[in-house]
Amino acid sequence: MIKLIVLAMVLLATFSFTATATTEIRPTLTLDYSIEPEVFMPGDMGTITVTLTNMATGEIYVEEDNETLDMNSYIASASLDGNSNLKILDKGYTDVGLLGPGDTLKLTFNVKVMENITNGVHFVDLIIVGGSNMYDLNYRIPIKVDDRNVKVIMSNFPSTLMNEVSTVSVDVVNRRPNDVTSVIVTPHAEGMTFNPSDYFIGSIPEGNKSTATFTFNTMSDKEGDINVSFTASYFNGDNLHNSDTASKEVRIIKQSPLVFTGIEIESSGNRYTLSGDLNNFGITDAKNVLVSIEDIEDIKPLQPYASYFIGTLEADDFSSFELSARVTSENVTSIPILIEFRDLDNAYTAITQEISLDTAPGVSYSSSDDEGSSLGLWLGAGLIVIVIVAVMGYSWKKRKDEENEEEQEADDEDEYPDYMDAEYEEDEFTE
């Protein structure tokens, strides 16, 4: 806050000369002051800077009617008087000296506002004592005091969180009548990790708000209620302050945000093909999503679908996938699927979900290290096909031979003409 006061201070007495005209020389001293912070809080310390300027122009000495006039202003002392609410931490300035034409002088005073001070405007008294022909000056400087604090608001904070990486935000409102600086928001919740651990906002103008955004990782949190709180620290001038703590009871539920649905399982021998949809049930997008078969005992991923890259899976969205694996033990009842992804802050996260094989058709099992077993199955199937083809061919040939025999007999009957039958009948009649 800067104030300008123009003081028509007579630095030299009015000179009268033995002539028909009277000459008046009146150099003017101006006073500016600034206060930091503009508005104090109870207990704050601050500074009042007083700037004195000699507004006279030209030479230090002015010749007038054979008289030499001094344009310097002499300041003997400068001090600031406080009261029971405002304590002045400096003793003041003594024997300040001359202030020549156009020169400027800055005087700084440190002030402390008492803890029990009331809101409103309080005054300190500036006293400047002049030397030579300069008049003294007394001036009251107003100090504003306001105890309103910065407030953190958790307006959009969810009351329930899953075992997920979620993004939440809080608002920081500056209710003060002056700007605050170096605002930092710090979250806290036992057993919960945040990114970033502190959020730097910077300056917030009077009557405005800013938003701090955090990523919460509750992937490994146990189910139950947890208290989440936020505090904002800031500077009012050079004074560090903390806002009141804003807190909320949040319930953690044991549920992954990425859920499989529409699972279909096909099997051929000991080979499984799993297909379906991966759904993002959370409130935050998942990036670089990759699903894959975990390579463990009795379960081996198979190409070309040992893993399946989905990419970005937005909140309330889904994507299809397909995976293949070979199971080498009849004791296996489910296949573990590894889901890997990154949150909006590129933090890596991995979770495992089991897909049950109860609904899959029956299969036969073989050793996982006997790659020839699959070939043997194919060869066996091929031999069966060959036998079937041979039987069908033999049946076809037999049926064809029978048809040929029937045709041959018919041809033999056609070798005797009708007239030979007639002669035979006539001879028989004659006898």
Query: According to the model, what pLDDT value does residue 188 have?
Result: 93
Please indicate whether residue 231 or residue 407 has the higher confidence score (pLDDT).
Answer: 231
Residue range 312-337: mean pLDDT, rounded: 89
Q: Alpha-carbon distance 367 to 329, whole Å? A: 8
- Rounded to whole angstroms, the Cα distance separating 116 from 121 reads 14
Q: Which long-range contacts (CB under 8 A, 24 or more apart) does 262-269 make?
A: 263/355, 265/355, 265/357, 265/359, 265/360, 266/360, 267/360, 267/361, 267/363, 268/363, 269/363, 269/364, 269/366, 269/374, 269/377
pLDDT of residue 28: 67
Least confident range of 83-97, 269-283, 309-323, 396-410: 396-410
Over 50: is that where the pLDDT of 102 sits?
yes
How high is the pLDDT of residue 288? 92
Dist. CA 202–CA 172, nearest whole Å: 11
**Residue 369 pLDDT greater than 50, yes or no:** no
Q: Which helix (H) or strand (E) holds 57?
A: none
Whether the per-residue pLDDT at 20 is higher than 80: the answer is no
Q: Which two tokens stand for residue 354?
A: 């089991």
Q: Which residues, in sequence order, are CB contacts of 406 under 8 Å at separation 6+?
A: none
- At residue 362, the pLDDT reads 45
- Backbone φ/ψ region at 412: left (φ over 0), alpha (ψ -120 to 50), beta: alpha
CA proximity to 5, closest of 141, 134, 143: 141
Task: Please determine, for residue 9, whether its predicted confidence score (pLDDT) is greater than 90.
Answer: no
- What Å distances lie between residue 414 and 35, 400, 408, 409, 410, CA to CA? 137, 22, 10, 9, 7
pLDDT higher than threshold 70 for residue 114: yes
Q: Is the pLDDT of residue 205 over 90?
A: yes
pLDDT score of 211: 96
163 or 12, greater pLDDT: 163
Count CA atoms within 13 Å of residue 213 on its CB side.
Answer: 5
Residue pair 294/355 in contact by the 8 Å Cβ criterion: no
Q: Are 236 and 178 in contact (CB under 8 A)?
A: yes
Q: Across 58-62, 226-230, 358-362, 392-396, which has the greatest mean pLDDT?
A: 226-230
* Planar angle of CA 192, 197, 202, nearest 5 degrees: 145
Taking only the tens place, the pLDDT of each residue in 127-141 is 988 776 666 788 899
pLDDT tens readout for residues 178-204: 999 999 999 998 878 888 999 999 999
Of 247 and 23, more confident: 247
Residue 382 confidence (pLDDT) above 70: no
pLDDT at residue 150, rounded to an integer: 97
CA dist., res. 104 & res. 174, Å (int): 36
Residue 65: its pLDDT value, please?
Answer: 57
Predicted TM-score (pTM) of the model is 0.67
Pairing mode, if any, of strands 61-64 and 307-313?
unpaired
* CA-based nearest residue to 321, from 364, 356, 389, 273: 273
Max mean pLDDT range (179-193, 229-243, 417-431): 229-243
The encoded tokens of residue 39 equal 């508005």
Question: What's the CA gap between 112 and 45, in Å, rounded?
Answer: 4
pLDDT of 107 higher than 60: yes
Cis, bond preceding 196 (omega within 30 deg of 0): yes
